[in-house]
Amino acid sequence: MTAVAWDWANFAIRWLHVITAIAWIGESFYFIALDLGLRRPPGLPQGVNGEAWQVHGGGFYHLQKYNVAPAAMPEELHWFKWESYWTWISGFALLCVLYYADPELYLIDRHVLDLPGWGATAIGIGVLILGWIIYDGLCRSPLARDERALSVAVFVFLVALAYGLTFVFSGRGVFIHVGAVIGTMMTGSVAMVIIPNQRKVVAALKAGETPDPRLGREAKTRSTHNNYLTLPVLFLMLSNHYPLAFSSRWNFVIIGLVIVIGVAIRHFFNTMHAHGLKPWWTWGVATSAFVLAAWLSTFPDTRRDVAEAGPVPARLAAALARPNFGEVRDIVIGRCSLCHSQEPVREGLAAPPKGVRLDTDEEIAAHAREIYLQAGIGRAMPPGNITEITGEERAKFAAWAMAGEHER
Ligand code: HEC
């Protein structure tokens, strides 16, 4: 039963993660649009830099923005931070449940690098920490004096990271880690720069001093990066649904293109809210990058088929040695490999669905738990029972997988 419990833990955390992320990103979109849409009619009160009238849910809202701060601080001040913190916390928990608890399934590709499970997990966590240190360092370097130069440096850093990781993890592991690094950069900025700087500003104002304008500038840069990174980070977080993208030999270029697409689209909306202009060229850029990414995704990463990997890790060897492995393999070949092989026979499939290949003994062993959930006790696979798997065969999957329950 642990496989079932584990899967439900996964659902619960994923659900939380999606909810908090929607709240955070919604808030980011709302505030950027609000900020850019502020108008300055004559007669605004002292210190007010712009205002907006909005109607929503049966009421009218009149918002005013004080550029630095109001003359007197209000008693109650709402800080926006928990949406961001919880998105990161739940995201990290999901990374643990899905990838670090079972690195051999989706993180390690022994044809890329034969890592031990703990090693892959350590590298994954290390990459998150190092990613933050490098990003934060870039933002504090002299480069940051020029916003464009900084953005280009951040872009180059992310693509280089993706490229480097293609020598360490499976394609899927690369995508989720670049996504997680971006998520860490975004929440790190909120926790370490935006909120602390804002607190310093409030403290200075309360003490009757003029706050250092640098504090506001730094926070603004980070918040702008966060806004531009929202669309790419969403793609990367959902990337386990896009095996064509992550299993391509050009997967790191595709990550770069996705960042370009996300930034171009945000730029369109930001410019529209700020100046009422519609820079249509951004859609040309986004569409071209999209088509290019789709084309690049048709070149599979062939390393997996030529490279000789080392000895089979103990956990996989144990799964191969369980009773009935031979029967399980025959069932998989008969009922699953139509779709789940490197080059699926099934028409309409360009790559194995969700990147799940079941065409070698090792792959079957690595996916024991998935096979159990999807086709043993579950009825999700084969879809519509297209290959006519029998109840008895499902029971064999379940018995074989259950025999290894203690291995987890
Ligand atoms: C007709 C093609 C087809 C056949 C046959 C098939 N699958 Fe799938 N499989 C799919 C598709 C499509 C998906 C992706 C479903 C989705 O996007 O949620 C998938 C997804 C999966 C996943 C990943 C699920 C997840 O959410 O991560 C597993 C594991 C899996 N299949 C196992 C099997 C097993 C075991 C068999 C044989 C008993 C099998 N499949 C037979 C098409 C097939």
Q: Which of the four pLDDT bands, split at 50, 70 and 90, describes residue 46?
A: confident
- Report the 10 Å Cβ neighbour count for 8: 10
Q: Is the pLDDT of residue 408 over 60?
A: no
Q: What mean pLDDT is predicted for residues 14-26?
A: 96
- Token readout for 237 is 């977080």
Could you say which DSSP state residue 80 is in? -
Q: Residue 308 above 70 pLDDT?
A: no
- Identify the residue with better confidence: 96 or 77: 96
> In the prediction, which pLDDT does 305 show?
66
Q: Is 346 in the pocket of ligand 1 (CB under 6 A)?
A: yes
**Whose Cα sits closest to atom 19 in ligand 1?**
353
pLDDT at res. 206: 84
* Mean pLDDT score across all residues of the chain: 90
**Is residue 111 within 6 Å of ligand 1 at its C-beta?**
no
Residue 309: per-residue pLDDT: 64
- 8 A C-beta contact, residue 370 and residue 105: yes
Question: In a 3-state reduction of DSSP, which class is residue 56?
Answer: strand
Q: Are 342 and 352 in contact (CB under 8 A)?
A: yes
Question: pLDDT band at residue 339, thresholds of 50, 70 and 90?
Answer: very high
User: Per the structure block, which two tokens stand in for 24?
Assistant: 């955070």
Quick one: tokens of 283?
């859609």
Of 332, 337, 340, the one to substitute when testing ligand 1's pocket (max ligand atoms within 8 A of C-beta) is 340
**Does any ligand 1 atom lie closer than 6 A to the CB of residue 381?**
yes
**pLDDT at residue number 50:** 92
* Percentage of the chain modeled with pLDDT above 90: 56
Q: Which of 6, 335, 339 to mutate to test the pocket of ligand 1 (most atoms within 8 A of CB)?
A: 339
Mean pLDDT to the nearest integer, 339-366: 87
Q: What are the residues whose beta carbons fall under 8 Å from the beta carbon of 98, sequence distance 6 or more?
A: 10, 106
What is residue 1's predicted lDDT score, i.e. its pLDDT? 62
**Contacts of 148 by beta carbon, 8 Å cutoff, 6+ apart:** none
Burial letters 219-242, b for 16+ CB under 10 A, else e: bebbbebbbbbbbbbbbbbebbeb
Spatial contact of 179 and 255, defined as CB atoms under 8 Å apart: no
- Type of residue found at 196: P
pLDDT at 399: 92
Identify the pLDDT of residue 102.
Answer: 82
158-215 pLDDT, tens digit per residue, is 999 999 999 999 999 999 999 999 999 999 999 999 999 999 988 888 888 888 889 9
| All residues at 6 or more sequence positions from 309 whose CB lies less than 8 Å from its CB, including other chains | 110, 111, 114
Q: Do 366 and 105 meet the contact criterion of CB atoms below 8 Å apart?
A: yes
Q: In the prediction, which pLDDT does 307 show?
A: 57
- Work out which ligand 1 atom sits closest to the CA atom of 336: 37
| Ligand 1 atom nearest to 241, measured from its CA | 17
pLDDT value at position 382?
A: 92
* Cα of 101 from ligand 1 centre, angstroms: 22
The crossing angle, in degrees rounded to 10, of helices 251-275 and 2-36 is 40
pLDDT of 353 higher than 90: no
Ligand 1 pocket, residue 383 CB under 6 Å: yes
Determine if ligand 1 sits within 6 Å of the CB of residue 356.
yes
- What average pLDDT does range 372-398 have in this prediction? 91
Over residues 311-320, mean pLDDT: 82
| Whole-angstrom distance, CA of residue 228 vs CA of residue 260 | 10
* Residue range 129-153: mean pLDDT, rounded: 95
- If you search the block for the tokens 């039963």, which residue do you land on? 1
Mutate to test the pocket of ligand 1, among 14, 98, 336 (most ligand atoms within 8 A of CB): 336
- Smallest CA-to-CA distance from 212 within 65, 74, 50, 68 is with 68
pLDDT at 381 > cutoff 90: yes
d(C-alpha 27, C-alpha 121), whole Å: 32
Residues in the chain: 408
Which conformational region is residue 384 in: left (phi greater than 0), alpha (psi within -120 to 50 degrees), or beta?
left
Nearest CA to ligand 1 atom 25: 354
Give me the pLDDT at residue 233, please: 96
Q: Ligand 1 pocket test: which of 343, 381, 388 has the largest number of ligand atoms within 8 Å of its C-beta? A: 381
Task: Establish whether residue 386 lines the binding site of ligand 1, counting it when its CB lies within 6 angstroms of any ligand atom.
Answer: yes
The model's pTM is 0.86
The residue behind tokens 């003994």 is 361
Out of 369, 374, 393, 397, mutate this one to test ligand 1's pocket (max ligand atoms within 8 Å of CB): namely: 374
* Residue, of 103 and 254, whose pLDDT is higher: 254
Spacing, Cα 258 to ligand 1 middle (Å)? 26
CA 149 to centroid of ligand 1, rounded, Å? 45
CA of 314 to the centre of ligand 1 (A): 26
What are the sequence ranges of the domains in the chain?
A: 102-296, 311-407
What six digits make up the tokens of 385?
A: 């029972």
Closest residue by CA, ligand 1 atom 10: 353
Kindly give the distance from the C-alpha atom of residue 342 to the centroid of ligand 1, in angstroms, as a whole number.
13
65 lines ligand 1 (CB under 6 A): no
Residue 113 backbone zone (phi > 0: left; psi -120 to 50: alpha; other: beta):
beta
Give start and end residues of each alpha helix (H) in 166-242. 171-189, 195-206, 213-237
Structure tokens of 60? 């009218």
> What is the arithmetic mean of pLDDT over 349-374?
88
Q: Is 257 in the pocket of ligand 1 (CB under 6 A)?
A: no
